[in-house]
Amino acid sequence: MTYAIKLDIFEGPLDLLLYLIKKNEVDIYNIPIAVITEQYLNHMELMRSMNLDLAGEYLVLAATLLNIKSKMLLPPEEKEEGEEEQPDPRAELVRQLLEYQTFKEAAFNLGQRTLLERDVFKRGIVPEVKTEPGEELIEVDLFQLVEAFREIVSGLKGEDLLEIDTEKMSLSDRIHEIMERLSVEKSMHFRDLLADVHDRRMIIYTLLAILELMKMRIVKAYQTHAFGPIRIFLAVEE
């Protein structure tokens, strides 16, 4: 099995460039383009070898760096009397870097604030859930739900039953059924929802119903640990 690892080390090409400038302790207004460009390209190579998905933006900035580098290699044009001085080919990049750095700082500052539901709380609206000490609930995403679904389906007995379509059940019927059970029980295991369901179509309807309800933010799915049982909660609207 291969694992695709995604490391969010850099937020993007500008972030990588800022990192290199800091690492080399060079002046942002006087970037040694040749050195920085080389290191930038090395980093790109490294990220590629680690199987990181390199966004096209990294390439764009690489091209910009190479373009600046080549411009700086050219001898300055002969200046005629009264002609304005050639602009520094790095000027636009420096402006961009400074602007990004400012917003990075602003973002950091936002993250340091006293956040609601992290540092301070208002009167309860989030459903309280009994957990074992040390356990934390993790919100489940689509993929975990699909994985749990796959497990359940694969656990079904492979009896070949000839099915006669007696009652037609629609997706919205299943949604109403689940909502009804949830409004009584407040929360239930994903597995329980499928406990007495043997019909393949019903299983699919159940999954679709849950996905639909999650999308509409009517229910939420949580688990206490990775690969743990998934519980479905009624989401209380604020």
Partner 1 sequence: MEDLRSIVEALIFASEAPLSVDKIVDIIGMADREAVVDILRALEEEYANRNGGFHLSEVAGGYQFRTRADMASWLRKLKGIKPPGLSQAALETLAVVAYRQPVTRQEIEKVRGVDVSGALRGLLEKKLVRMLGRKNVPGKPIIYGTTKRFLEVFNLKDLAELPTLREFQELQE
Bridge partners (DSSP) of residue 234 are 219
For residue 11, state whether it binds partner 1 (rule: CB under 8 A): yes
Question: Residue 35 in contact with residue 43, Cβ under 8 Å?
Answer: no
For residue 53, state whether it binds partner 1 (rule: CB under 8 A): no
Structure tokens belonging to residue 101? 């750095």
Give the whole-angstrom CA distance, residue 119 versus residue 86: 52
Sheet with 187-189, edge to edge strand ranges: 187-189, 230-234, 219-223
For residue 122, state whether it binds partner 1 (rule: CB under 8 A): yes
For residue 116, state whether it binds partner 1 (rule: CB under 8 A): yes
Residues in contact with 51: Cβ distance below 8 Å, sequence separation at least 6, in sequence order: 4, 5
Q: How many CB atoms lie under 10 A from the CB of residue 71?
A: 13
154-213 residues in contact with partner 1 (CB under 8 A) are: none
Best CA proximity match to 19, nearest among 97, 85, 75: 97
**Site track for partner 1 across 68-97, x = CB under 8 A:** ----------------------------x-
For residue 12, state whether it binds partner 1 (rule: CB under 8 A): yes
Closer residue to partner 1 in complex, CB, 56/87: 56
Q: Which of 20, 61, 145, 152 binds partner 1 (CB under 8 A)?
A: 61
Closer residue to partner 1 in complex, CB, 103/176: 103
Q: Which one of the spans 31-39, 84-92, 137-145, 177-185 is the region binding partner 1 (CB under 8 A)?
A: 137-145
Q: Which of 76, 82, 111, 158 binds partner 1 (CB under 8 A)?
A: 111
Give the whole-angstrom CA distance, residue 230 versus residue 192: 10
Q: Which of 81, 139, 165, 167 binds partner 1 (CB under 8 A)?
A: 139
Amino acid at residue number 57: E
Amino acid at residue number 66: L
Bridge partners (DSSP) of residue 231 are 189, 222
Closer residue to partner 1 in complex, CB, 136/163: 136
- Closest approach of Cβ 101 to partner 1, in Å? 6
Structure tokens belonging to residue 27? 């002046």
- Closest approach of Cβ 135 to partner 1, in Å? 8
Please give the residue ranges that form the binding site for partner 1 (CB under 8 A).
Answer: 8, 11-15, 55, 57, 61, 96, 98-111, 113-126, 128-131, 135-139, 222, 238
